[in-house]
């Protein structure tokens, strides 16, 4: 990400507010930045946020909750304000930990695992619409130990090779998947992400030139001719 550090006394300003962006909430997954990259590769603006920033994301067109290394069974497990999340009225996708968190919020249960499932698994869609439109039996990448017990009202979208549900839909705009669609090991992960983004509410397009021009314009407005020290980091949209 492009980072600006202002080492003077005038106010700092966040560059993370873009209307109609896909808001990705980071729950500590090693793949959180990769989710943002995959969305941008599909042509949409995406921005990464922390869960405590749920009220500071402007007007998102869709929301994704990332995976993470923690268990929802832990007393201090990462959480998010579910009422605020749903108040945006946009499609929501939970990935791995994000799915488990949504399952709890939607009335399901989580069963802590004693061993970690890490590696390839077989995805078998049981529906052919929505998130699974055009998706066939294929390999996906798992990285979890806990499992979801869905509420009776939840719809199963896909199972693994053992018949265990690994993709759920709780209502017409809330989805969860127990695997990582953003990694290349998930053979049809890009299709599933594209299916989800097709549900987004008028998503903002991503084009690196326009992104750069906006940052330059905002920086000039903030700095207004005063001296500034700028630190540039590497990342998916750096120089």
Enumerate the active-site residues: 96, 180, 182
Torsion-angle region of 28 (φ positive above 0: left; ψ -120 to 50: alpha; else: beta)? left
Q: How far apart (Å, rounded) are the C-alpha atoms in residues 98 and 57?
A: 18
**In 3D, which of 122, 144, 139, 135 has the Cα closest to residue 192?**
135
Across the beta sheet with 165-171, the strand order is: 46-49, 22-25, 62-65, 92-95, 174-177, 165-171, 155-159, 117-125, 138-144
Q: Are 64 and 32 in contact (CB under 8 A)?
A: no
Q: Token pair 């630190």 is at which residue?
A: 231
């Amino acid at each position: 990400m492009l980072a600006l550090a202002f080492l003077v006394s005038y106010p700092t300003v966040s560059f993370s507010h873009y209307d109609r962006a896909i808001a990705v909430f980071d729950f500590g997954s090693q793949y959180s930045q990769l989710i943002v990259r995959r969305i941008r590769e599909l042509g949409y603006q995406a921005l990464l946020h922390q869960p405590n920033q749920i009220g500071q994301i402007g007007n998102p067109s869709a929301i994704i909750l990332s995976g993470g290394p923690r268990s929802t069974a832990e007393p201090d497990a990462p959480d998010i304000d579910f009422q605020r999340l749903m108040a945006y009225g946009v499609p929501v996708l939970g990935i791995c930990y994000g799915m488990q968190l949504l399952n709890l919020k939607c009335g399901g249960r989580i069963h802590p695992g004693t061993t970690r499932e890490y590696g390839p698994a077989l995805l078998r869609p049981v529906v052919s619409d929505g998130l699974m439109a055009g998706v066939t039996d294929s390999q996906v990448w798992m990285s979890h130990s806990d499992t979801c017990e869905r509420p009776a009202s939840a719809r199963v979208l896909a199972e693994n090779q053992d018949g265990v549900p690994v993709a759920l839909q709780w209502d017409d705009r809330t989805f969860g998947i127990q695997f990582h669609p953003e990694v290349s090991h998930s053979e049809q992960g890009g299709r599933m992400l594209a299916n989800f983004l097709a549900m987004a509410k008028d998503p903002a397009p991503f084009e690196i030139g326009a992104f750069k021009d906006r940052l330059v314009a905002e920086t000039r407005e903030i700095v207004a001719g005063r001296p500034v020290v700028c630190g540039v980091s590497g990342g998916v949209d750096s120089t």
